[in-house]
Amino acid sequence: MSQIKAGIINVTGYIGAEIARLLYQHPQVYLQSVTGRSLAGQRLGEVFPNLKKTRLTIETDIDKNIDIAFVAMPHKASVSIVPDLLKSGLRVIDVSADFRLKDVSEYTRWYGFEHTSPELLDNAIYGLPELHRSDITSALLVANPGCYSTSAILAMAPAIKEGLINSDIIIDSKSGVSGAGRTLSLTNHYSEVNESVSAYALGGHRHQAEINQELGLLNTGSPLAITFVPHLVPMTRGILSSCYAKLKNNKQLQGSRVIDEIRKIYADYYKDSPFVEITENPPKTKHAMGSNFCLIYPTVDIINGNLVVISCIDNLVKGGAGQAVQNMNLMFGLPETTGLETLAIYP
């Protein structure tokens, strides 16, 4: 097939720049156009020296002579751009939260704005390939999941789908500071973050809305009661989620081999998912750094009868740019691993 012509709107954030890095090395993509209003006119390689070989200039407006637009705008900003892109006949992958939620009222509750294109929400596909692969292949608009959401949903999806756990779930996630983006603030200042770990958004983090939505779609039992607490840790990349839930009294999970049975259920669930690996030992964030893999370690606290699942991703790759490229591959009929086979960087 001919090369896919791609453009990135707002390439100047961490996710936008990471999409550019991945598309540049993609064998079936020509990165044709990138925008960033505040830095328009500058060479992309001047802003991000690692992208010097792209030889692209940051423009004010996207070149519409492309096949797909990656929209890396902040939340509340994408919704004003995406409708016109779709009307122009482009396929769109939006990496903000503006099209992730199906219930339009949830945008007011979690993001504090009234959604101006609710008619697009029904057709927007939540871009988690492990759950919605077939729908993504025919999608015109894909809503790329949040980073925390990706880690948490993939960790708990098999247990909920198979009815292994009770409805109370605790998700404790820890993220590197790149998840906060490039905008400077006191919360991600080096002196504030270094040698410190902090919990935040205890009243409800925005990503909980999509965690509730997607896990709720898999649930056939009592309504889920999910407690999600994110933490900021002094590292650049990575998310580690520790997830806990009480196992049901399930005949399938009785006896001394319960951990083996749990691991088999997880392995079977993800047998056709090339970027999910069920690990032999608890993973570290370094084990996923720079890769599009989600590493999952399910086990059981035998004493208390609790399922414990550890999940690791690179928040900028599987939690953002890599997942966006994975979605693009599916949308254009390519193997979903194309251009994403890079292994993790270690140490």
Cis peptide before 129 (omega within 30 of 0): no
* Coil vs helix vs strand at 267: helix
Burial environment of residue 197 by CB neighbours within 10 A (0 to 12, 13 to 18, 19 or more): exposed
Closest to 317 in 3D by CA, of 1, 22, 105: 22
Half-sphere exposure of 145 (CA within 13 A, CB side): 31
Of the residues 147, 243, 294, 312, only one is catalytic, namely: 147
- In terms of residues, how long is the chain? 347
**Residue 311 in 3-state DSSP?**
strand
Known active-site residue 243 = no
Give me the helices (H) in the chain, please.
Answer: 14-24, 44-47, 82-87, 105-111, 129-137, 147-161, 190-193, 207-218, 258-269, 322-331
Half-sphere exposure of 81 (CA within 13 A, CB side): 24
Half-sphere exposure of 169 (CA within 13 A, CB side): 30
Q: Which residues contact 108 (CB under 8 A, 6 or more apart)?
A: 114
163 residue type, one letter: G
What token pair was written down for 142?
């894909």
Tell me how far apart the alpha carbons of residues 179 and 185 are, in angstroms, rounded to a whole number. 13
What DSSP assignment string belongs to 80-123?
A: GTHHHHHHTT-EEEE-SSTTT-S-THHHHHHHSS--S-GGGTTT
Task: Give the long-range contacts of residues 44-48, CB within 8 A, separation 24 or more.
Answer: 44/11, 44/20, 47/12, 47/17, 48/17, 48/20
Name the residues annotated as catalytic: 147
